[in-house]
């Protein structure tokens, strides 16, 4: 089955800095890669996703890049703000299965 590794587990940045979270996956058949943001006491919320026919996708301050050859994808947050502080999860699915495999999460802390 699919295996998703996510790094780092904790990321601490100053407000205004950029943050990068990286994930690798094992199944070359995976073709859908969502990212979720989870604030304290809430459920994960989809913030951006990318499919394997696209190399990069942006939405305001967040972007996701995908390298199919290396089987890794990354979340980039620019100009971080304290409200970006949360746990971020990556996931991968595809190859006929719509059930995603999740990474273990990254706790992002943005210091004012």
Positions that interact with another protein (CB under 8 A):
6, 32, 34, 36, 41-46, 49, 89, 93-94, 98-100, 102-105
Identify which of residues 10 and 81 has a Cβ nearer to another protein in the complex. Answer: 10
Q: How far is the C-alpha of 42 from the C-alpha of 12, rounded, in Å? A: 21
What is d(CA 51, CA 61) in angstroms, rounded to the nearest whole number? 19
Cis? peptide before 76, omega within 30° of 0: no
- Report DSSP letters for 69-89, one per residue: TTTEEEEEE-S--GGG-EEEE
Q: Least CB distance from residue 100 to another protein, whole Å? A: 7
| Least distance (Å) between residue 74 CB and another protein | 17
> In the complex, what is the shortest distance from the CB of residue 102 to another protein, in angstroms, rounded to a whole number?
4
For residues 111 and 47, the answer to whether their CB atoms sit within 8 Å is: no
Nearer to another protein, 43 or 112 (CB): 43
Q: Which residue's CB is nearer to another protein, number 61 or number 104?
A: 104
Q: How far is the CB of 80 from another protein (least distance, A)?
A: 22
């Amino acid at each position: 089955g699919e295996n998703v590794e996510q790094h780092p587990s904790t990321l601490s940045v100053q407000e205004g800095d950029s943050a990068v979270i990286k994930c690798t996956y094992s199944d070359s058949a995976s073709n859908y890669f969502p990212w979720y943001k989870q604030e304290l006491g809430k459920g994960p919320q989809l913030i951006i996703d990318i499919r394997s026919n696209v190399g990069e996708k942006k939405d305001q301050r967040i972007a996701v890049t995908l390298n199919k050859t290396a089987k890794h994808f990354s979340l980039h947050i620019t100009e971080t703000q304290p409200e970006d502080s949360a746990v971020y999860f990556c996931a991968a699915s595809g190859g006929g299965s719509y059930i995603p495999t999740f990474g273990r999460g990254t706790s992002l802390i943005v210091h004012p």
